[in-house]
Amino acid sequence: MRRAFIYFLILPVFLFLTPCLTHASDMTLEKDLQRSLHQSKAIADQANEMLRTGLPVEEEVFRLKALSEEIKASHILLEERFRLREEEVKAHGAMALERHQAMSEGYSKALQEYLGLIERLPPDGAISRSAINNLQSLLNRILPQKKRPIFGSLPYRNLKYPAREPSSDPGIKPAYKGGNKTVSPEDLKSTGEAPISTEIATFAQSLGWNPVSMYEWVKNNVETEWYWGCMKGAEETLRQRSGNDCDQAALLLALLRASGFPSRYVRGVIEFFPDIERAKNLTGIEDPVKIRHKGSGLNI
């Protein structure tokens, strides 16, 4: 499901990706710069509140300008690093070079805009709220608002799907209950979420190609996590031994298809009411209104 590309975030504040060509210890400049920008935002927020109440902000402006000198020094070193990196990136093809250049240009544009705003602040502190508002707007745009949730060992983006009523349309009737028993090529197909890979096939073989053993292994060995939609896929769910209903279903489906058993997804709705306390224990969510979870199964 995941391609073998490795990236790191050159500056998380600017939301650009570039190929990872250096060791983790080389991230000190980026981290120092991000830390200084966070400090600038805190000072700008404080200055705006002080201006609103009529207090002088000369000291805050002095601190912002002092921080900008540190940021400027890091900026010069980073631009030189990006230039050297560009020479290395060229060996990885046109796409890698294009991504690196886009990241570098976006970073430089944002930094120059920030330094320009700081330079225009009068040192005597006689500034308007609009000047501080402009600085706050820029920092809010280039700094991340919050950390992404982490499930298992990998970060995943919360897509923030809107809440919606469960579908009342008739669901797929499982084959064992008299549903459609016609096998199609789709029922044995390798997919992005449920690939029939060497890793999956090897694990299926270790379970004796036995569908009951596969079901019992997933049920007894994969820890249930609570998040929306398929995020890990079969392979990562197998590696982490954890996943939500959709990812667990993808793992079981991949194992079954790798063993030659036609399989397909079935989606349904779990109704916890009136046993809401059990739902709280399962999900770790105290607010009953927030306990919404769509269940997934398999039609075999």
pLDDT tens-place string over residues 223-255: 888 777 788 889 999 999 998 888 999 999 999
Assess contact for 268 and 171: CB atoms under 8 A: yes
pLDDT of residue 23: 40
Token pair 């890698």 is at which residue? Answer: 96
Token pair recorded at residue 202: 């090897």
- At residue 151, the 3 state secondary structure works out as strand
Q: 64 lies in which domain range? A: 7-146
Is 233 found in the same domain as 123?
A: no
Mean pLDDT (the chain) is 76
Give, as one character, the DSSP assignment of residue 124: T
Is 177 found in the same domain as 295?
A: yes
Residue 45 belongs to a domain: yes
Evaluate the CA torsion angle 207, 208, 213, 214 in order and state its sign.
positive
Give, as one character, the DSSP assignment of residue 259: T
* pLDDT for 258 beyond 60: yes
Is 128 found in the same domain as 85?
A: yes
Residue 51 belongs to a domain: yes
From residue 273, alpha-carbon distances to 117, 162, 283 in Å are 56, 22, 14
From residue 80, alpha-carbon distances to 48, 95, 108, 137 in Å are 35, 21, 12, 28
Is 136 found in the same domain as 70?
A: yes
What are the two backbone dihedrals, phi and then psi, of residue 168, each rounded to the nearest 5 degrees? -95, 0
Residue 99 belongs to a domain: yes
Q: What's the CA gap between 60 and 235, in Å, rounded?
A: 52
**How would residue 170 be classed by pLDDT, with cut points 50, 70 and 90?**
low
Total number of domains in the chain: 2
27-43 pLDDT per residue, tens: 687 888 888 888 888 88
Is 76 found in the same domain as 124?
A: yes
Is 199 found in the same domain as 118?
A: no
CATH number (domain holding residue 188): 3.10.620.30
What are the two backbone dihedrals, phi and then psi, of residue 19, each rounded to the nearest 5 degrees? -60, 145
Average pLDDT over residues 7-14: 31
Residue 164 belongs to a domain: no
Residue 157 belongs to a domain: no
Least confident of 8-17, 49-58, 266-275: 8-17
Token pair 């570039």 is at which residue? Answer: 18
For residue 224, give the nearest of 246, 242, 250 by alpha carbon. Answer: 242
Is 134 found in the same domain as 23?
A: yes
